[in-house]
């Protein structure tokens, strides 16, 4: 949670640079589309000052993805204590205090409007919050014509207990993921990469990730937390790997101690951080300067299957990979179907696509026929998907 709240820091805005006096070096670029915006943006820099004023200085439609961790408006009435009467290090900073819900709503709409202006047509935004504020943020997003894509539950592996025993333990936070508008259909989402990293199971909307602890947690010289709500890098890594590409520009209007910037640099993305508190900004700059970017092979997004050329099963017959009249079988040779000249399969008197017949023989509602069916070649089974890959390679050559 950053602190770039309107008013408290004054109107002045400056660009913070590295400890050497020069802007931090940019990570390697990826997409050509990002190069066109670099000369006009404060790439890999932290703007110290009011976030809404800083947003006004950015060019329109210039960032690819936004991660926002705004004040939660926790409405703490008094200090929190444990059963042993020791004080809980809770969020009681001035930047999280608002006079009323209407004041918080006005602030939320102002920064969201500023963010929407600088988002590219197909950019997306992530906003994280707790039950104190996330529903009000969601209303503001919809009122400003953002299009909600998902709400993600970040389930904490090690949440703070409810010490008074009067409520459930707050064990999660919610992230809203939204596109700029309902018309933005080409937003970035690496579905296949997420699935592959999740044991080939579709990534769910509940994420089990520990809080920020240990060496990752920034501490001052007295051993105190530099920022009370520092987010774990694993959370930001999943956000950026799912919804951005190498070379993209990531905007964080509540930069805090720079988790977004540190992860962006590590994963070959660029960042722009807005932060009103110079102490947080200085800690973020030192943290980011120390980050070593990963090699390209460690974060380059694999091609999405849906972006690959469509190849009908008929093309395998026309290309001579499979012949009409041949028998297709599953990998355990339990089921058999005959290839027809028109690219369909015959199962007795039933005729259908490779997918329909594959589902039918298994008694399932659906089937990926490409990975289910095989043809025999030289005494071994070969997946028909291998032939599809050959045709795609020929098309791409």
pLDDT digits (tens, 9 = 90+) for 209-219: 988 777 888 87
What confidence score (pLDDT) does residue 35 get?
45
For residues 271 and 252, the answer to whether their CB atoms sit within 8 Å is yes
Note the pLDDT tens digit of each residue in 131-155: 989 999 999 999 999 999 999 999 9
Question: What is the pTM assigned to this prediction?
Answer: 0.69
Name the band, by pLDDT with cuts 50, 70 and 90, for residue 106: very high
Name the band, by pLDDT with cuts 50, 70 and 90, for residue 32: very low
Q: Comparing C-alpha atoms, which of 276, 236, 269, 260 is closest to residue 16?
A: 276
Q: What is the CATH number of domain 45-74+89-298?
A: 3.40.50.150
* b/e burial code for range 148-165 (CB count within 10 A of at least 16 → b): ebeebebebeeeeeeeee
Note the pLDDT tens digit of each residue in 157-182: 877 777 677 888 888 999 999 999 99
Average pLDDT over residues 346-364: 96
Residue-by-residue DSSP string for 66-86: EEE---------S--B-TTSP
Average pLDDT over residues 19-30: 40
The whole-angstrom separation of Cα 141 and Cα 123 is: 14
Burial status of residue 390 (CB atoms within 10 A of its CB: 0-12, 13-18, 19 or more): middle
Note the pLDDT tens digit of each residue in 266-278: 999 999 999 999 9
Average pLDDT over residues 364-386: 96
What confidence score (pLDDT) does residue 288 get?
96
User: Cβ of 394: how many Cβ atoms within 10 Å?
Assistant: 11
For residue 263, the number of C-alpha atoms closer than 13 Å in the C-beta half-sphere is: 24
What confidence score (pLDDT) does residue 170 get?
86
Q: Comparing C-alpha atoms, which of 197, 285, 270 is closest to residue 234?
A: 197
Residue-by-residue DSSP string for 245-259: -TT-EEEESS-TT-H
Q: Residue 377: beta bridge partners?
A: 380
What confidence score (pLDDT) does residue 21 get?
34
What confidence score (pLDDT) does residue 94 get?
62
Average pLDDT over residues 111-132: 96
What confidence score (pLDDT) does residue 159 get?
77
Average pLDDT over residues 194-211: 90
What confidence score (pLDDT) does residue 220 get?
81
**Does 3 score more than 90 pLDDT?**
no
């Amino acid at each position: 949670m950053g602190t770039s709240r309107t008013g408290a820091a004054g109107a002045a805005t400056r660009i913070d640079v590295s400890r050497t006096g020069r802007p931090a070096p940019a990570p390697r670029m990826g997409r050509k589309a990002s190069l066109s915006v670099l000369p006009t943006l404060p790439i890999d820099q932290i703007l110290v000052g009011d976030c809404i004023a800083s947003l006004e200085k950015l060019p329109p439609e210039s960032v690819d993805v936004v991660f926002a961790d705004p004040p939660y408006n926790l409405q703490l009435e008094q200090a929190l204590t444990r059963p042993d009467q020791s004080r809980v290090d809770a969020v009681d900073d001035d930047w999280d205090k608002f006079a009323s819900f209407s004041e918080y709503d006005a602030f939320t709409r102002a920064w969201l409007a500023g963010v929407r202006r600088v988002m590219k047509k197909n950019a997306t935004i992530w906003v994280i919050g707790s039950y104190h504020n996330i529903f009000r943020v969601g209303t503001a997003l919809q009122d400003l014509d953002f299009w909600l894509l998902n709400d993600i539950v970040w389930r904490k592996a090690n949440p703070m207990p409810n010490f008074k025993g009067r409520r459930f333990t707050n064990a999660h936070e919610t992230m809203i993921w939204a596109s700029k508008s309902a018309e933005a259909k080409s937003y970035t989402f690496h579905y296949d990469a997420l699935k592959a990293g999740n044991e080939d199971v579709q990534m769910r909307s509940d994420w089990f990730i520990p809080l920020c602890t240990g060496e990752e947690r920034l501490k001052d010289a007295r051993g105190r937390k530099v920022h009370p709500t520092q987010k774990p890098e694993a959370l930001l890594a999943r956000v950026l790997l799912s919804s951005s590409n190498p070379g993209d520009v990531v905007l964080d209007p509540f930069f805090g101690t720079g988790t977004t910037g540190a992860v962006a640099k590590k994963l070959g993305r660029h960042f722009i951080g807005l932060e009103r508190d110079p102490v947080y900004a200085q800690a973020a700059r030192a943290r980011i300067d120390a980050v070593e970017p990963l090699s390209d092979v460690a974060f380059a997004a694999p091609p999405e299957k849906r972006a690959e050329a469509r190849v009908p099963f008929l093309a395998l017959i026309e290309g001579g990979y499979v012949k009409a009249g041949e028998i297709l079988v599953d990998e355990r040779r339990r089921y058999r179907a005959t290839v027809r000249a028109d690219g369909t399969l015959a199962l007795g008197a039933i005729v259908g696509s490779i997918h329909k017949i594959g589902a039918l023989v298994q008694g399932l509602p659906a089937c990926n026929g490409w990975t289910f069916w095989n043809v025999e070649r030289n005494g071994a089974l070969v997946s028909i998907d291998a032939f599809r890959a050959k045709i795609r390679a020929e098309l791409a050559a």
